[in-house]
Structure 1
Amino acid sequence: MTNNNPNVQKIIEFNKNKTTRKEEVVNKVITDLIKGKEKINFNTVAEKSGVSKSFLYKNKTLKERIDFLRNQQNGLSSPKKVKNNTSDKSKDVIIESLRQKVKKLEEENKDLKKQLQSKLSDLYLKI
């Protein structure tokens, strides 16, 4: 008993409503990201809105909006980029302090090995 004329109108209507709800959620997330001055890209929008990246790429209006906002933000410096712009002199200072710390730890390790060897030899002599 197969239906030769299936009525799929309800399914199509349901899917259109579902897509509309998802679009509303995505638009709200984008607005929140703009207000929070956060980075806007497909990954963050998809993650925060709970939709797949493919949904964003397939939806032409959302794709164009995200592309536009992402390109608009390209000129802005992100906190990660600002942090990475340390001078060569400060990097040299950090490297030198790390070298001194490594040297100190190597000396401490050498002393501890000597102490251990001494204790083990004393223990061996007692046996």
Structure 2
Amino acid sequence: MKNNTYGIKEHARKRNQETLEKVDNAIKRLKRSKTKNINFKTVAEEAGVATATLYNNLQLKERIESLRALQKAEKEAEKQAKKNSKYQDVEEVILTPTQAKIKKMKAMHEEIKKLKEDKKNLIIQLVEMEELKAENKKLREQMKKVFTLKN
């Protein structure tokens, strides 16, 4: 009697593919979730597979580990940003009235510099526009002469 392992191998390949798809979909859902962490337990629960399945598949294991590290780094960056914004708020509260006035005056000075630059650019545009108007008038007169000579 001949051993027919083709059916068994095909079934195992199909189940493996289904598992990979379930895990992939679970990871996508977890990435969209703002409340759940990505780790072996949550991925296994979300996908409906055993955690051993995730640990035994090297590709899935590395993917989950890298996503977990990335998520952890993002959360640390958010914490640091919040911490920095708290310090910035505290810094403004600690400023003495004189320091606050100086800071406000510097901001106003920068705004004045920007307005002066804008004014300069507008004047340049106006001068160019007047030059173009004069050239346009001159060309119209030339065209008028050409048409009167032809008729």
TM-score class, shorter-chain normalisation, is 0.5 to 0.7
Q: Distance in 2 between matches of 1:32 and 1:50?
A: 13
Please list the CA deviations of residues 41-79 of structure 1 after superposition, one character each: whole Å capped at 9, or x if unmatched.
00000011110111101111111110000111223449x
Letter in structure 1 aligned against 2:65: D
Indicate whether 1:43 and 2:41 are aligned. yes
Q: Distance in 1 between matches of 2:63 and 2:16?
A: 17
Equivalent residue, structure 2, for 1:70: 68
Indicate whether 1:61 and 2:38 are aligned. no
Q: Secondary structure at the match of 2:11?
A: helix
Q: Secondary structure at the match of 2:23?
A: helix
Q: Distance in 2 between matches of 1:60 and 1:77?
A: 26
Indicate whether 1:29 and 2:26 are aligned. yes
The structure with the largest alpha-carbon Rg is 2
Equivalent residue, structure 2, for 1:123: none
Q: Distance in 1 between matches of 2:30 and 2:65?
A: 14
Letter in structure 2 aligned against 1:75: A
Q: Distance in 2 between matches of 1:61 and 1:26?
A: 11
Letter in structure 2 aligned against 1:29: A
Q: Distance in 1 between matches of 2:2 and 2:51?
A: 35
Letter in structure 2 aligned against 1:57: Y
The structure, 1 or 2, with the larger RCO (C-alpha pairs under 8 Å, 6+ apart) is 1
Matched pairs, number: 76
The alpha carbon displacement at 1:36 in A equals: 1.0
The TM-score, its normalising length taken from structure 1, stands at 0.55
Q: Secondary structure at the match of 1:74?
A: helix
Indicate whether 1:19 and 2:22 are aligned. no
Letter in structure 2 aligned against 1:10: G
5+ unaligned residues in a row in structure 2: which ranges? 77-151
Q: Distance in 1 between matches of 2:75 and 2:28?
A: 20
Q: Distance in 2 between matches of 1:9 and 1:15?
A: 10
Identity of aligned residues (%): 37
The TM-score, its normalising length taken from structure 2, stands at 0.47
Indicate whether 1:7 and 2:4 are aligned. yes
